[in-house]
Amino acid sequence: MPKVGIRDVAKLAGVSTGTVSRVLNDHPSVTGELRVRVRGIIEQLGYMPDPSARSMRGKVSRLIGIVIPDLTNPFFSELVQSAEQAAARHGYNIIVMTSFDQAAKETDRIGQLTSRKVDGIILVPSNDFHTLKPPKGLPIVIVDRLLPGYSGIAADHRSGVRLGVEHLVKLGHRRIGFISGPKDSVPANDRLKGYIDAMELISEGKQNAAPLIAEAAFDYESGRSAGNYLLARARHERPTAIFASSDQQAIGCMRAAHDLGIPIPAALSIVGFDGIPLASMTIPRLTTVKQPIQDIAAAAVAVLLSKQGAPELGKPLLLPCAISEGETTSSPQPD
Amino acid sequence: MPKVGIRDVAKLAGVSTGTVSRVLNDHPSVTGELRVRVRGIIEQLGYMPDPSARSMRGKVSRLIGIVIPDLTNPFFSELVQSAEQAAARHGYNIIVMTSFDQAAKETDRIGQLTSRKVDGIILVPSNDFHTLKPPKGLPIVIVDRLLPGYSGIAADHRSGVRLGVEHLVKLGHRRIGFISGPKDSVPANDRLKGYIDAMELISEGKQNAAPLIAEAAFDYESGRSAGNYLLARARHERPTAIFASSDQQAIGCMRAAHDLGIPIPAALSIVGFDGIPLASMTIPRLTTVKQPIQDIAAAAVAVLLSKQGAPELGKPLLLPCAISEGETTSSPQPD
DNA sequence: TTGTAGGCGTTATCAT
DNA sequence: ATGATAACGCCTACAA
């Protein structure tokens, strides 16, 4: 069974290969009737254009490259999965590559993708120090870890956190603790700003709302010790609610509270950030601020395919987070 | 800056494009000195062969497709990541696709990969009922969820579980409970067999070793109720150790024990299965049987690139699991 | 609107 | 051992 090519379609349809090609590419100048007939033949023969030949002749490969630091990170794997879906909707496929947070690998990967003639690259830059050398003429969009000088798309961490803290405020909380991320991390600082924003809003209302901040890494264990720190004080000074900068921190903090005999949410409300799958598996289920990963991925793909204008250089596209209500939040007990 | 092609290299080196091509492909019939010189020019010009042109002319695309049910499953994302690394070592790249456990999507994805001229496909079949239509002439290797009639590679669940149970036996445990997976799952049954294997070994030693089995889904919550079921009996009848068929079950079971006031590992040892990252984040860290994901991925890639013979049809390649010792196991307390 | 033909960058075949 | 050249499958001027 010799592979069916564009010529076979043309022959069977009694037209030229050019016409078939034009039908394939939705070129406007093909008669309606003819177009339908050719489509029929294509279907009937099960013809599929050869992507290699296409990308050699034309400019497009219908391939998008995505380079991330670590696929085992749930955030990134969901990002890749969402990108794959979004790309598939446009007839594109995805090549994934992992940089393991090494700038050298990252550069190499980008080179490979360039020579593969991908139509665009979605990049989550490594944390390594590096100067990103932009492949000329190849659209690239930076995601999550924004870089100055590039089109960027990310969650709006700052207002996301504000959203979460305000949720606690609405429930009646005033002494709200905050577990921050590492202070050299850009997203961590954005999240901190969101907390401060929200707390300032309360203080203007003349309520007692001194910030109560513990700095920590994003992981579980750090969240646990930060939680211990925030909760190790007399009951009427202790926060009635804690906002954690990551779900892992939040879960660690739940553990700390549990070990201290503080019931959740009766005596302590907790809100996390990220919306990882694990958040809905804790007992009780964690209330968290969910990052719009699917939206981020879809926007990135849309930008690359020019379905959507790229964000301006200095002004990244920030997508809104949303609260996912679990069972770790309630109104505070009276003092 | 017009892109540098094979012709530019040839011109500068004063040879024909044919010769350059032969150098690129390590064709034996090129003089040593010439080969070196051409290599130099290639380096100097930063020439990179165009993969599209290559795959159009030749038979290979240096592309491998991988189709999995769900990338947010940690097992699969690690699998993909490992495959990417293994492929990169051979100069190959990976196209990922998600089937969402739908046979129709799976078929479609395989079709796309075929027309992309990938050199091989790694497939974790969907659980949907389906007849896999093998793309003729395109190497395909089934991973994890073995399918009759195809070359398959997976972890050796059965002896992996036996390993874990025997570990408990060596510590002195005899009343060892088992949380099984869903009974219509092939891997679940393999794991159950491993448990029975190990328990039969003990009974021959004339010890009390009646099997103590709870059936459950693979998830956290199911593990918790299965744990409750196994532990809801008088102390001298209660198992001193429990082997869970998944880490998620194991973690659920830890929770159940904790809620019942049974200290781990003092009064109860627990062993999980899978080796997901979360396993090392629990308190205490979970002892688990780790699947050799990297080995599986590497073997799959090697088979596709014919670096390694494909496993025979009826006889899948089973790779050994290994114990990852955490802090949830110890010798049992005297009754 | 449709057909014709050249060429994309590479590899393989056939000469030399 | 090396050089010249056709062919891979498709798209797109250009011609009709």
CB B242 within 8 A of CB B176: yes
- pLDDT digits 0-9 by tens, A93-103: 999 999 999 99
Q: Is residue B190 part of a domain?
A: yes
Inspect the interface and report whether the beta carbons of A95 and B93 lie closer than 8 Å: yes
Same domain, B44 and B83: no
Interatomic separation, CA of residue B24 and C1' of nucleotide D13, rounded (Å): 34
Nearest nucleotide to A25 (CA to C1') is D11
* CATH number for the domain that contains residue A27: 1.10.260.40
Residue ranges making up the domain that contains A200: 157-291
Nucleotide D2: nearest residue by CA–C1'? Answer: B19
Same domain, A68 and A110: yes
Interatomic separation, CA of residue B53 and C1' of nucleotide C9, rounded (Å): 5
Same domain, B173 and B228: yes
Q: Is residue B107 part of a domain?
A: yes
More confident residue, B7 or B155: B155
Q: Is the pLDDT of residue B207 over 60?
A: no
Same domain, A164 and A285: yes
CB B309 within 8 A of CB B181: no
Quote the minimal CA–CA distance from B274 to chain A in Å: 14
Q: Is the pLDDT of residue A207 over 70?
A: no
Interatomic separation, CA of residue B19 and C1' of nucleotide C15, rounded (Å): 15
User: What tokens does A163 get?
Assistant: 């959203």
**Mutation for A interface: B81, B119, B225, B327, most A CBs within 10 A:** B81
Long-range Cβ contacts of B277-280 (<8 Å, 24+ apart): B277/A72, B277/B74, B278/A278, B278/B74, B278/B247, B278/B248, B278/B251, B279/B247, B279/B250, B279/B251, B279/B324, B279/B326, B280/B324, B280/B326
Whole-number Å distance between alpha carbons of A168 and A161 = 11
Whole-number Å distance between alpha carbons of A292 and A190 = 16
Maximum average pLDDT range among B2-11, B26-35, B164-173: B164-173
User: What tokens does A58 get?
Assistant: 């034309």
CB A139 within 8 A of CB A173: no
Same domain, B162 and B287: yes
* CATH number for the domain that contains residue B260: 3.40.50.2300
Q: What is the DSSP string of B310-331?
A: PPPTTS-EEEPPEEE--SS--P
- What is the total residue count of chain B? 335
Q: What is the pTM of this model?
A: 0.88
- Which amino acid is it at A191? R
Give the DSSP H/E element, type plus range, for residue B142.
strand B140-143
Quote the minimal CA–CA distance from A30 to chain B in Å: 26
Inspect the interface and report whether the beta carbons of A70 and B61 lie closer than 8 Å: no
Note the pLDDT of residue B60. 82
Residues 6-35 of A with CB under 7 A from strand D: 6-7, 17-18, 21-22, 24-25
Minimum mean pLDDT range among A197-211, B32-46, B307-321: A197-211
Same domain, B257 and B298: no
Same domain, B200 and B164: yes
Same domain, B188 and B239: yes
pLDDT band at A1 (very low <50, low <70, confident <90, very high): low
CB B223 within 8 A of CB B179: yes
- pLDDT digits 0-9 by tens, A264-298: 999 999 999 999 888 887 878 899 999 999 999 99
Q: Is residue B331 part of a domain?
A: no
CB of residue B54 closer than 7 A to nucleic acid strand C? yes
Please tell me the total count of domains within chain A: 3
- pLDDT digits 0-9 by tens, A234-245: 888 899 999 999
Note the pLDDT of residue B303. 93
- How many percent of chain B have pLDDT more than 90? 54
Q: Is residue B326 part of a domain?
A: no
Which residues in chain B have Cβ-Cβ distances shorter than 8 Å to A95?
A: 63, 93-96
Q: Is residue A332 part of a domain?
A: no
Same domain, B232 and B169: yes
Inspect the interface and report whether the beta carbons of A52 and B48 lie closer than 8 Å: no
Same domain, B39 and B93: no
Both ends of chain B: CA-CA distance in Å?
81
Note the pLDDT of residue A244. 98
Measured CA angle at A322 (ends A316, A328), to 5 deg: 135
Q: Is residue B68 part of a domain?
A: yes
Q: Is residue B327 part of a domain?
A: no
pLDDT averaged over every residue in chain B: 90
Same domain, A246 and A287: yes
Q: Is residue B299 part of a domain?
A: yes
CB of residue B307 closer than 7 A to nucleic acid strand C? no
Largest CA distance in chain B: 88
CB A143 within 8 A of CB A175: no
Note the pLDDT of residue A171. 96
Q: Is the pLDDT of residue A44 over 90?
A: no
Same domain, A19 and A79: no
